[in-house]
Structure formats: structure tokens, C-alpha cells
Structure 1
Amino acid sequence: MSIDFKGRVAIVTGAGGGLGREHALALAKRGARVVVNDLGGARDGSGASSAAALAVVEEIRQAGGEAIANGASVTDFDAVQAMVNQAMETWGRVDILVNNAGILRDKSFAKMELDDFKLVMDVHLMGAVNCCKAVWPIMTTQGYGRIVMTTSSSGLYGNFGQSNYGAAKMALVGLMQTLAIEGAKYNIRVNSLAPTAATRMTESLFPEAMLQALQASDVVPAMLVLAAEDAPTRAILCAGAGGFEAAHITLTQGVWVGRGDDAPELLAQRLAEVRDRDGETVPESGTAQGHAELTKAMANLQS
């Protein structure tokens, strides 16, 4: 079964280069009409230029596709809303949103300025929030929507010097979890992609040999699957160098120690049992944790 996007309209943020460019080109190649959004700033978020977005639009058009450029900063909701309005005025719908825009301001937490922490959070997290908020009414009215968040192994597992980036990227997973639940009745599916790729954002993180192996185009198949009509929802796909994995936020079976004065000591003694991953589950929603805890409590109190 081939994956195609004929008749679909996609918005890809940060699409002037790197992963975003590859996403935009791939969606267009498979039939989507694409809004190529890019502020055109430097890796740290400074500056702006429309040249990169326009170049990608030209690539798409030269290949026979349809695309328009947009230079909105994802941190500016009014500009994001205008971008979505541009797509609606041009093509009458928005089916796919790929939240890819981002910046880096790496430093160890001890040396990081709070302004650098806040700006990275603003671009990655609030940028995605702004874009989701702008397309949400359209997708609910259509009864169709596919949203892809760009998370990161730095958010899922941590990485030295990236406390701001990691916090923002993990926050996007939390946003995905709830939007997927709230969007289900409208056929809006929301997923996350954790890419490993050689881009302007990551070129300083890997040696040259690894950069050659980690092509941005290798990540695209995971994005296409997550944005497709038959996409899953609440999935976290990891991708790089032709390999693909799934990450999960799980809940162990745990133990019950009660609420006695010695509960801290009992918990410390049984911490290995609490952390034992045998029989762990992937909860359907946040209420599963409370349900699991209440179930253990009732079983022990009645025994």
C-alpha cells in the first residue's frame, strides 16, 4: 500500500533547510500542497530571511508540485494565524501540520542564561502550541487532521548541555498525549518524531563520519507514516540512518506500602520492585496511574 497525500494540504514549519526541507519536499512529491514556513534565522534564532523558504518552494514547483512560502515566526500567534489563513485562502483546507521549527542555545545548566532557556522553550514548545491552536478549529470542522511534533532523544533521555532543548522537546510529548486524546473524536491524530540526523542544528554534535551516515532524508519515512491517513496516534517514532524504533512512556506494576510512618523506609527497601519493568504497561491516559494506585490500595486494605 503506497502512502500518498493527493488532495491534502500540509504546513511544515522550519522548512527552509535540514529536516524541514526534506519533509516539505517529500510531502509535495507524494501529492500534498505545502506551506513552506521558515523564519530564515540563524541556528540560535537570530535574524530572519525569506530566501530559504522561497528556495524550497521553487524546488517543489520545478518538480511539478504546489507550494507557497511563509516567513512567520512560530512564536508570534498572530503571524501563525495569518499563515494558516494564507493556506485556507489558497487551498481551502489544512490537513497536516509538521511542527519542525526549532533553535539551539546549548550550554551546561550552570552557565545557561535564563533568557536562553526561555527562548528555546518559546520556539519549540509555544511555537508548536501556536501552530496547533491555529489549525485546530479547521481540523475539527473538517473531521480530519494529522499533527506531527518533533521531539528528540535529548528530551526523552537527556543530553549534556541541552537542559532547555530537552525540557522543550519532552514538553512536546506531553502536548501530543493530550491533543491525541482530545482530537480522537474529530479524527485528528497526533504523534511525535524523534530524529537523529545531520543538520545545521546537529552538525556540532557528531564527528564527520557519523554526520555522513545520518542523512536528514533518512528520517522522512517516519514523518510520512505519522502524517498519513492511516497514521497511528500517540506514537513516538525514533528515526535515523535508516533505522526506526518506538519510544514509550510506561508504568511499572509497582508495589503498595501504605501510609504508615515507615512508608518512606518501606519504599526505599522495595524501590527495586517499584522500578522492575516486568509487566510494565503503556497507559491509555493519565488516569491510569491513579487507577493502578487505587487498585493496589483497595486490594491491600481489604486483605
Structure 2
Amino acid sequence: MAVRFDNRVALVTGAGAGLGKCHALLLASRGAKVVVNDPGGSTAGQGGSNAVADTVVDEIRKSGGEAIANYDSVADRAGAERMVRTAIESYGKIDIVVNNAGILRDKTFSKMELDDFDDVIKVHLLGSVYVTKAAWQHMIDQKYGRVVLTTSGSGLAGNYGQSNYGAAKTGMIGLMHNLMTEGAKYNVRINSISPVAATRMTEGLLPEQMLKKLDPRQVSPAVAWMCSEECDATGEIIAAGAGYFARVKLVKGAGAVVGNGEIATIEDFVAAKEQIFDLNGAAPYSKTIDDDTRRILGMA
């Protein structure tokens, strides 16, 4: 059966271009009522134009879908509340939040101004917090919700000159892992997409030959599934690009117990370093106090 979003209301941030636009168009084409959020600024977060969001809304409406524009910045708490209120006042509820909005201020850490670090964190990480927070209680109360966060390989694996961006994108994962436990019993599921796509933000970062093959529409199917009633996962990361999709997981190796029951020394650690660093047989690291720790402490 086709995945549909009839009678569902979605908010997509940064939906005026690139990935966000593709997500919004796909959700709308499958029946969702969509709030298209975008202040219309540059990739550095400067300037603005209502026409950016309006154009996407017009495209959705011309295709027979329902959409309304919102021009607020996710980095503004009141703005985040307004975009959620736009969904509720226009369509009666909020079912789906896709946190896609972002900016870039790339420089090496030694040359980066701390204002550039602050601004990127505020848009990506805190912006996702503000928007998700504004929608969260509505989802809890109605016992249904789908939240998508946008992480990145720049955070999960690292990239030159993107310490601010990478820190923000990895922060998404900590946010997700904690909210998944709070939302689980209310059927509120939260997952993350780690995309690679040809957008304004990747121009100049990826080779032209690669960009030609990285149509952002190739990422949206995974995002749409995370937004769907059919989504049976929470707390997951999906890497996506050029039609390729893969589950990403933080893992922990078997490790080693050192010190022979005494307080371990530096030398004990060094002696066991090869075993500690060995990832053969690694398994997902999914608990703060995991089974190995419980066993060592005699609690399992």
C-alpha cells in the first residue's frame, strides 16, 4: 500500500529550497497539509525574503495540495512558537515536525569567530530544540507525533573547517536519544536523517561531478517514512544520498576489565589498549548503564 499523509499536518523548517523543499513537496503530494517555513536568507543566515517560502507554497497548491507559509527563524523562540501556532490555527493540529533549517559559517577552528560558532549552534541545535519544544506537548496530548532531526556526517565522522556545524549536528543525536524515551509511550517517535545532497549548502564543498548525482529528492523518501504512521522506529539515524540508505549506530567494543580488582593504573590501561580499542564484535551502545557495566558491578 502507498504511504499516505491524509489528515496529517506537517511543519518543515528551511523548506524554501534544497532538502527542505523536497521534503515538503513529497509530504504534500501524499496528502499532508504543510507549513512551509523559511525566512529566505542566505546560507550564512543573512537577509531574507518571503518569496522563498511563498514559491514552494504556490507549487504545492498548484499541484492540488494544501500549504501555508511561515517566515520566522527557528533561532527565535517566539518564532518557533509562531510556526507551530500557524499549523494549529490553520489546520487544527500538528502531527509532524521536520527540523531541516540550517546555516553555514565554515572556517578552521583557529580562525573561527565565536559568534559564528554561537550562531550555527543556535540555528541547527537550539533551533531544533525550540521548534520541537513548541510542538512536543501537542503531540504528547494527542498521543501521536513524528519528529525528524537533521544530523550530518560532519558531526558523526568529522569534516575540515566545520567544528561549529559538526558540534551542532552531533548534539542532535543526544537530543534524539533522550526525547525518544520520553515520547515512546505516547506514540511520539523521533529519528534523524544524515543526508548527502546537492544543495546551496554543499556547493563548493563537494566536487561538481558528485553534486550532479546527489539530487536532494533522493533523501526525502527516508524522511517521509520517518514522518509516517508506518514508522515503527524511534531513536534511529539513517544516512541517505543518491538513492543509498543505511542505518547508522554508535557502537561499543567488547573492551577489557583492567586492574585485577584494584584501582587501575595508567600502565594497566596501556597494557590493555589493544583490547580496549578492538571493535571486533562491537554492538550498539544503547544504554547509559549498559549490560557490560552491570555485569562487572555484579548487578546483572
Structural mapping, 1:63-212, within 5 Å: 63-212=63-212
SS in 2 for 1:233: coil
CA distance in 2, matches of 1:148, 1:163: 22
Root-mean-square deviation (Å)? 1.3
Aligned to 1:233: 234
Aligned to 1:43: 43
Aligned to 1:244: 245
Unaligned segments of structure 1, at least 5 residues: none
CA distance in 2, matches of 1:264, 1:294: 23
CA distance in 2, matches of 1:79, 1:297: 48
Q: Is the 1:8–1:96 contact (alpha carbons within 8 Å) kept by the matching residues of 2?
A: yes
Structural mapping, 1:268-279, within 5 Å: 268-279=270-281
CA distance in 1, matches of 2:270, 2:230: 45
- Per the normalisation by structure 1, the TM-score is 0.95
1:267 aligns with 2:247: no
Question: What is the identity, as a one-letter code, of the residue corresponding to 2:250?
Answer: I
Q: Is the 1:255–1:296 contact (alpha carbons within 8 Å) kept by the matching residues of 2?
A: no
SS in 2 for 1:100: coil
CA distance in 2, matches of 1:118, 1:81: 21
CA distance in 1, matches of 2:188, 2:289: 21
Q: 2:288 aligns with which of 279, 286, 289?
A: 286
Runs of 4 or more consecutive aligned structure 1 residues displaced over 3 Å after TM superposition: 258-262
CA distance in 1, matches of 2:276, 2:101: 38
SS in 1 for 2:219: helix
Q: Is the 1:256–1:297 contact (alpha carbons within 8 Å) kept by the matching residues of 2?
A: no
1:52 aligns with 2:52: yes
SS in 2 for 1:116: helix
Identity of aligned residues (%): 50
Point out the more displaced range, 134-143 or 224-233: 224-233
CA distance in 2, matches of 1:262, 1:126: 39
Question: What is the identity, as a one-letter code, of the residue corresponding to 1:203?
Answer: E
Question: What is the identity, as a one-letter code, of the residue corresponding to 2:265?
Answer: A
Question: What is the identity, as a one-letter code, of the residue corresponding to 2:249?
Answer: H
Size of the alignment, in residue pairs? 297
Unaligned segments of structure 2, at least 5 residues: none
CA distance in 2, matches of 1:111, 1:147: 35
Cα deviation digits, residues 173-213 of structure 1 (max 9, x gap): 11011111110011000000000000000011111111100
CA distance in 1, matches of 2:88, 2:297: 52
Question: What is the identity, as a one-letter code, of the residue corresponding to 1:265?
Answer: E
Q: From the two aligned structures, give the one with the greater helix fraction.
A: 1
